[in-house]
Amino acid sequence: MTPVELSRTVLHAVRRAVNEGELRVTVPARAVVTAPRPGGCGDYATNIALQLARPAGQPPLRVAEILRPHLAGADGITDVVVTGPGFLNISLRGTAPADLVEEILRRGVRYGYADRPSGRLRQLHAAHEVRALVVADALARLLRSQGDLVRVTAEGRPAPAWESVLDVRVDACGTSPEGVEVDIRPVPAPADPLPLGRDAARWALLHPAAHDRPRISDGHLVQRQSNPLFRVRYAHARTRALARNAADLGFGAEPGPIDGHQGLTAALADHPRVLVSAAEHRAPDRLARHLVAVADAVLPLLPAVLPRGAEKPSAAHRARLALAEAAGTVLAGGLTLLGIDAPDHL
């Protein structure tokens, strides 16, 4: 069972509890599943009980206990344990990492996107400042990935170079329109980011949290491990190179059981939650930091993907290649949402 399928299973459990009169709530459009927190257990966890507690008028632990048997009886689930204030920790049957990789490769760079339009219209208004406009652009991309319609306005028209170099666009300019939902005013850029070029400039403005002062320097251009943007793009390019090299050797990716690399699979499984969180909290920096974590987790895997010497390609090589390609897919999709290229060659 993949995270997307598990999310649907959680919602089905909520719907059954509502239909049987155990809960009086509106079934939410989405249930977030992620890696268990410290003190948790199993393969995945969800905070759905905490989310529903207030509208249900019941304590989170009680909501969790209501939902637990509905989840425990679902196909593919072997155990459900309630921990902390009401987290539901779910253990799955079979090889969850292989299912996860298969899901990522099937969905491609749209892994983590909403399955259908949300019907929500988001109104964003940005200050007339380069960082605010870049943040607004990235946030609009994130919100659209979750099915929202987005309208972006700004206090003034972007400078022509901001449009041509940084690829920022707005729908209208002027004072904040009535009913604006989000007013975007991060700490301004301390220097002109345009000399860095589009990709490095956008990363420099998006990687820090909105309340942090961004660093505008040539350090974002250096091709070494100390540069987080380089690590992310290098990891993606390496996964693409491995796919080409494997094809030359006559084998391809095939999801399967893999020993170790739990940190990587957990980071990949967490990607849909990160997209939701980055969109809901108006924080593209969360996605940027997540991509760094994925890159750092996949790099140790890459030397073991291809056969060495006279070694023949095995099921383990195919499974490791599939995991590497899944990581590269997540990196490419995340960079695209930040408005940054993910080149196949560096």
Mean pLDDT of 150-165: 94
Report the pLDDT value the prediction gives residue 49, as an integer from 0 to 100: 96
Determine the pLDDT at residue 80. Answer: 92
Mean pLDDT of 166-174: 92
**For residues 12 and 270, which has the higher predicted lDDT (pLDDT)?**
12
Give the pLDDT band of residue 324 (cuts 50, 70, 90).
Answer: very high
For 301-316, what is each residue's pLDDT tens digit? 999 999 988 889 999 9
Fold topology of 228-337: Isoleucyl-tRNA Synthetase; Domain 1 (1.10.730)
The band of 93, judged by pLDDT with boundaries at 50, 70 and 90, is low
Alpha-helix residue ranges (DSSP H) falling in the chain: 3-19, 48-56, 60-72, 96-107, 130-145, 160-166, 197-206, 228-248, 262-269, 271-280, 284-298, 315-337
The pLDDT mean for the chain works out to 92
- Do 3-94 and 228-337 have matching folds? no
Domain boundaries, the chain: 3-94, 121-215, 228-337
pLDDT above 80 for 33: yes
pTM of the full predicted structure?
Answer: 0.78
Partners of 153 in the β-ladder: 125, 172
pLDDT at 344 over 60: yes
Domain at 3-94, CATH class: alpha beta
**Tokens 């988001």 belong to which residue?**
122
Contact 202/130 with Cβ under 8 angstroms? no
Indicate the SS3 state at residue 88. Answer: strand
pLDDT of residue 95: 46
Please answer whether residues 250 and 313 qualify as being in contact, where contact means their C-beta atoms are separated by less than 8 angstroms: yes
- Of 49 and 3, which is predicted with more confidence? 49
Whole-angstrom distance, CA of residue 99 vs CA of residue 43: 12
Give the pLDDT band (50/70/90) at residue 262: confident
pLDDT at 236 over 90: yes
Q: Is pLDDT of 231 > 50?
A: yes
Instruction: Please give the average per-residue pLDDT across 137-153, as a whole number.
Output: 95
pLDDT of 100-120, one tens digit each? 899 999 999 999 998 888 888
Please determine, for residue 156, whether its predicted confidence score (pLDDT) is greater than 50: yes
Residue 24's CB is within 10 A of a number of other CB atoms, namely 11
